[in-house]
Amino acid sequence: MKVLRNNEVNSIITYLFTLITLYFAFAAVLGQPVFDPLHEPDSHSEENDSKTVFLAFFLVNIAVVSSWISSICRLPTLFGPLLMGIVIRTIPALNSLFILPPYWDLILRKLAFVNIIVRWGLGINARFIANNRAFPIALGLTALAEALVLTVAAWLLLGLSFTMASLCGLAVATVSPAITVPSMIKFREGNIGIKKRIPDNVLAACLSPKITILYNLLSLVLATAVGVLAGVILWYFPSNSFSNMQFSRSLLLGSLCTAVIMGSIKLKYPCAGMLCGVLICCVAPLRWREDNEKKAIPVETTFRILWDFFSLPILFILLGMKLDGELLSAKIVGISVGIILIGLLARVALVFLAASFFPFNHKDRLLMGFAMLPRATLQADLGPTLVTMAHLVPPYLPEANTVLQVCIISVLLTAPVMDFIIALTGPRLLAELPVYEAQEREDVVEQLESKKDMTESEKQTPTAETISSV
């Protein structure tokens, strides 16, 4: 271990590790074989020409500007890009101009998805969750009950086959980290709701339903092992004495998660890659928050800025461009809204029921119910993906398009509205601690949680003074 702590040796290993992760990330993004990256495609693809690059450039800038205008108007920042995407799709001249090749549409959406996965993992307090598993699991499993309600509703009201109704229920019931994660992180940074650790519980609960839809137990085990191992490796590389430590950690974390998540998509195990990415970003900060004065704040800030100025705008403008008015009718829209509202009411009731067995008051339960309602990121990803898969089974294509429209309507109905409601009601429903008291409490809680990880012989009983300070 002394050799690894040597600055020169650590720098060399960090550089090689970063180079390898960047290589795998570029190979996964560009769709090139890992062992033959210079292999030329059999035929020229228009998806890689200069027109596509400029098209993506203009889309990103339009999305960023519209997001900025939304923030100026005190609207949810996702509202502008979503509206611009709908405008582009609705106006024939713009729709024919902004035709993004399917491959790059997928890549841009997945890169934005990687960003929110990184922020999600960085926001989870692994030490707290390890000692308080019951409520996050109970809260997360409400998604499965809502999915069952939505499945029955879609089967009866939309006339979908049971298979497509089930996929519709799973897709629409999944909580979107794009809205919930930034909101909970903002509450925690503002010391709102931290007395009962509500932001930590909600962030962990968002992960529970995703774990249940992994393909098989083997993928769960491998994803967990790789994620934890990679996170531990990031404890040591780069070392805390590295001159550009924070930049190196941000670059290494981003490239590693991109390689894992994008690579798993190529291997047809996207859920395993998502879990692995969350665990990497969850385990690595355990050491980062203790080995330097700035903790993991610079890394978190880097990915927050990247989310605000690239990932969120491009994700929602692409989602808006998926809304095909020709496939919609007043009947479909009305039924879809009804189904979605049924699911939302069921979720709020289930959250209240789950929280009733834990020490939360009605205001806490209401806020957590709101936090479980937004639909955005995963619906933006799952809907188009389902349509792409349905092209392989043509009889299911019409129903897949219907599910896509339900997903988009769920985003239009919940994302801007719930983003606004959570931001408005959070400070009013949840208790806010003064900064000095919040910091003191956080320090004491971390000490108590660390003691739980020790053996029984090493545990120390907290004094009455320490308990009262919490």
- Which two tokens mark 264? 């798993």
Range picked from 25-29, 110-114, 303-307, 329-333 for highest mean pLDDT:
303-307
**pLDDT tens digit string along 349-384?**
999 999 988 889 999 999 999 999 988 777 867 777
Residues above pLDDT 70, as percent of the chain:
85
Cβ neighbours of residue 341 under 8 Å, at least 6 residues apart? none
Q: Phi then psi for 192, rounded to 5 degrees?
A: -100, 120
* pLDDT > 90? residue 62: yes
Which DSSP helix (H) or strand (E) runs through 459? none
Categorize the per-residue pLDDT at 44 as very low, low, confident or very high, splitting at 50, 70 and 90. very low
81: nearest Cα among 119, 108, 44, 107: 108
Q: What is the mean pLDDT of residues 160-178?
A: 87
DSSP state of 154: I
Sketch the domain layout of the chain as residue ranges: 2-33+52-454
The mean of the pLDDT values for the chain is 82
Burial class (CB in 10 A: 0-12, 13-18, 19+), 315: buried
CA angle 349, 178, 390 (to 5 degrees): 85
Residues above pLDDT 90, as percent of the chain:
30
Distance CA 258, CA 117 (A): 10
Cβ neighbours of residue 306 under 8 Å, at least 6 residues apart? 115
Q: What pLDDT is stored for residue 38 in this prediction?
A: 73
**pLDDT tens digit string along 247-283?**
999 999 999 999 999 998 888 787 788 889 999 999 9
Cβ neighbours of residue 260 under 8 Å, at least 6 residues apart? 226, 227, 230, 273, 276, 277, 280
Q: What pLDDT is stored for residue 188 in this prediction?
A: 87
Side chain identity, residue 158: L
**pLDDT tens digit string along 216-237?**
567 778 888 999 999 999 999 8
Question: Where do runs of H (alpha helix) occur along 241-322?
Answer: 245-266, 270-288, 297-306, 312-320
Q: What is the mean pLDDT of residues 412-435?
A: 83
Is CATH 1.10.1060.10 the right assignment for the domain spanning 2-33+52-454?
A: no
Please give the C-alpha separations between residue 368 and each of 129, 205, 465, in angstroms, as whole numbers: 17, 10, 31
Categorize the per-residue pLDDT at 462 as very low, low, confident or very high, splitting at 50, 70 and 90. very low
